Structure 1
Amino acid sequence: MVDGEEFSSTSCHRRVKDAEQDAAKVAYDALLERKETDDTDVFELIDQDVVFSKSILHEFTTKTKTDQPSYSITKKEGSMIPYVASVSLAGRAYTGVAARNKKDAEQKAARAAVKSLLATNDTCMEKIVRSKEKLISANSPSGYNKEIDSNPTNTALPFAPIKFTSPAVFKIYDGENDMVSVPQALSVLPAAEPASNPSEQAVHVSKKHKDNKVSEPEVKEERELDSIFLWRLTVFGDNMVLCR
């Protein structure tokens, strides 16, 4: 029995000593696995949000009656993430990752100190972090980006600018498949060609058919008049013979 929890051996043994050793091994393996899981959970918890790191470290120094931590900040010129903070606690200095402003830099330095104390299996620090679990979970953003905080070189993330290309005007020579692109400046827009009007073409074609249709009866009428005129000349001639 360990802390009120019972552990049993995996099998029966002939000797009491062997049974006790088997039960002790079962308890050790179970508690070790549980401890590793708890350590992983507490580290993941402190990584979720950095905003409570200074308050956690302040509470730890108060409960352990240690001197309050002191912070120092340095600025890297020409860097997108210029501020780096360090915190001194109990004669040791802890440096956090780079941040965009001084406030976040101090919080990240405090988190480095908290994680260092958790790595030493400090039960007081572990209890303090676990007591903040609800606050950390409620305050942490849903889209937490661990890539920035886990960047070991503190370098800026790559930035891909948007590329703009110049428009192109296509000239048609022998058909739709034979096209040649003509590059234009960014400020010049390709001129739109006048679109063909199908209605105008239809009117032109109908007018042409109409003209042809009108001209045919006129020719026929002239031919009929000519034939009538010939017939009359023949009828009223001297011989009075009907012929063409």
Structure 2
Amino acid sequence: MLRSVVFGASGELGSAISASLRERGDRLALLDLDTIEPCGLAGEWTARADLSSGTSVTGALAEARDRLGGIDVVVNAAGIVSRSRIEELEEEEFARVLDINLVGAFRITKAAGEMMAATGGAIVHLSSCHGQRGGPGRAAYAASKGGLEAFIRAAATELGPRSITINAVAPGPTGRGMGNRSLSRDVFAAASPMRRVGEGRDVAAAIAFLTGPSAHYITGHVLPLDGGASATGDLSMFAIRSGAVC
């Protein structure tokens, strides 16, 4: 039975990921900036965690470790988005997006890596299609996700000797969260080889694999979850035409 921690557990993707890990039989610590109602299952614990604070992240992980009896898996599904174009983008907003999406991932990785050092484990962050592709109004968000992907590759070289894997999944437009409007979803579905947008269960299944026993030799990678759109080049055109968030 794996002992798993999910940041951003109250969001659309975080909820799907938590449900998948629960179904797998994991013991769970569910963390979010917003209050999460406990589901009442034995061994499951909820608490508040603020990615903008290293003290909050480290404290939440330490309590999760104590409650679960250790940590095997950490999933970071938390994040914020900016839709401001460069001429309208204030420095404070740019810094805030990078602080939560990029520095927050560093805070989680640093604390989790120290707590897993003796036993090993798996860390997975959520990136985005915008980690490698641009779009109007995505300067801050794309910078944060592109930086996250570079950070994961570097972190893998340091965490590997401790038997800790670190990877990311990069969804295209998925579900209804993070600003994906109906028109944007329809445009993407028409352009995608799979002819649909992603669903929470698609992201959850990928994370369950990357944190499971079959992926112990996979680290430092970013797995696109876009129905093949990035393989055809249509994803970048979709982002430009619709301004969707992935």
Both proteins in one fold, TM over 0.5:
no
The one of the two structures with greater contact order (alpha-carbon pairs below 8 A, sep at least 6) is 2
Q: Which has the larger radius of gyration?
A: 1
Per the normalisation by structure 1, the TM-score is 0.20
